[in-house]
Structure 1
Amino acid sequence: MTELKLATEKMHALKKNGIGWMTFNNPARRNAIGFAMREAILEIIEDFEADPKVRVIVMQGAGDRSFVSGSDISEFSERRATPEQREIYDALSAKVNDAYANIKKPLIAMIRGFCIGAGIGTAIHADIRIAAEGSQFGVPAAKLGLGYAFRNMKKIIDIVGPAKTKEILFTGRRYSGDEALAMGLINQLVPADKLEEVVDDLALTIASNAPLTIHATKVIVAEAAKDPDKRDIVLCDQLVENCMRSEDYKEGRTAFMEKRTPKFRGR
């Protein structure tokens, strides 16, 4: 077990059993994300991505009240009051979005409590979203007079469709876990006291599978979601070929014949 040393205490990062745990640790503000937290997120993602022992990343909020309740608005008077400040703040936010978008490893969002505004913006970067019963979801941009960026709106559209995205943004209302599950915003809704167990089991299952196959799947799904003329089919084919030529494929076949659990090495 390894814990990263970060410049802020409002983010925690722990590596254990092949899983990288990233925790938004600002419970006094329901884990609202501030400037220093965004800087730490970049550092955590870079470390987890570079560590071959980390096969799955899980992000969660500290405590039982909130995943992420939005951006830390208390910082706005100091961080976003002028056009120059907004430019700096928005540039950092864009870097964080890019970092999430470029994660090659499976990313799971473990959601408990409030998942509002920037919480939705964070959760939609995950490949899989598991929420506890009683969680709440929403994007209150229209209640604050905020514009919601194309990039994040496109991701919501890809997940729940155009009509539901309009409803979420037009109303700014909060949705229950059952409603989020029904619209496809989350993959599973589980009892609150079972959330960590379910997510841990899921992460360990993924971590035990062949990394090259997992990576190929993530890339090909992303390419399939693009417009046909922008898809990199050559890349997709190469990733599949890499799997078929890998030592892991040989190990998988051998383990199957020997009726034992395979030990994949990602090569």
Structure 2
Amino acid sequence: MSYKYVTLEKNNRIAIVRFDRGHEMNALSVDLMKELLEVARSFEGDTETNAIILTGNGKNFTAGFDLKDAALKERMDAGMMDKREMLRVGPRMCQAWEDLEPMTIAAIDGYCIGGGVALSVALDMRIASKGAQFYVPEIKNGMNMSWQSVPRMVNLMGPARTKQISIIADIVPATEALSWGLIEEISQTESAFDLALEYARKIADRPPLPVRMIKQGANVAAKALNHATSYMDIDQYALATESDDYAEGIRAFIDKRPPEFKGR
């Protein structure tokens, strides 16, 4: 299958998935997220692949969901039932990547923002370039962090750091992300890909069945309650988008000014 924004190559038990919107910041559109969902599902029944690397355009992993995407207006104008269905694209994409049986590695260059963080924490490992920066600014736009990513971040960083990155919402450089537990390794070069490939090759050399069994056991142990604590986040997000603060946050983002929230 061919894709507009995503390329897939396989070799020696390793698959490499690259996504590129065609502009530097590499923001996630609804169409791109649907392609990433389809690519993840394409590995169903694949008994050959041991490791999958997911990476962006080489400059940035992704600037997160594109707030200028035409689908956003369609979502805002929709009724609640249709809106809830539209909002499922992001969480379905993340869940599809989390559910993969091979080991998954995010190779993160440049900015990893919002939905990019949500996608990366759904994978098994995160390798960052030394210049990578992590940022969860949803709250500054009047939104809650969703896509069922909060418990995944808690699994990695604990509750305090999860609240810090999601509520205080400062930019976190790679060195801090490493100390927090958000990522596992930092490449000493400008690109994270070579180090990610080094790990993928080690995984590819391991026997496939134990790789999958160990991954499944670790995930069940760490994530058994994740769905129970996040199944409502689509509805929480939908509620937040009905608020005056959300409208103000989006206007402020587009106008490039600080928002003025009033709790309405």
TM-score w.r.t. the length of structure 2 is: 0.78
Partner of 1:116: 113
State the shift of 1:16 in Å.
2.3
1:157-176 alignment runs, 5 A limit = 157-176=154-173
1:82-161 alignment runs, 5 A limit = 82-84=77-79, 86-149=83-146, 151-161=148-158
Determine which of 178, 192, 195 is the counterpart of 2:192.
195
Higher share in helix: 1
Distance 1:41 1:150 in 2: 14
How many percent of aligned residue pairs carry the same amino acid?
26
Partner of 1:177: 174
Superposed CA offset, 1:181-206 (max 9, x none) = 11011000112346322211210110
Partner of 2:62: 68
Determine which of 25, 48, 71 is the counterpart of 1:30.
25
Q: Is the 8 A contact 2:138 2:145 kept in 1?
A: yes
1:54 partner SS:
coil
Distance 2:140 2:148 in 1: 20
Q: Is the 8 A contact 2:108 2:126 kept in 1?
A: yes
- Does 1:53 pair with 2:61? no
Which protein, 1 or 2, shows the higher relative CO under an 8 Å CA cutoff with sep ≥ 6? 2
Distance 1:180 1:92, change over 3 A: same
In our comparison, the structure showing a higher alpha carbon Rg is: 1
Distance 1:225 1:13 in 2: 29
Partner of 1:17: 12
Distance 1:136 1:67 in 2: 10
State the shift of 1:73 in Å.
1.2
Where does structure 1 differ by over 6 angstroms across 4 or more consecutive aligned residues?
A: none
Distance 1:186 1:107 in 2: 13
Q: How many residues align?
A: 223
CA-based RMSD = 2.1
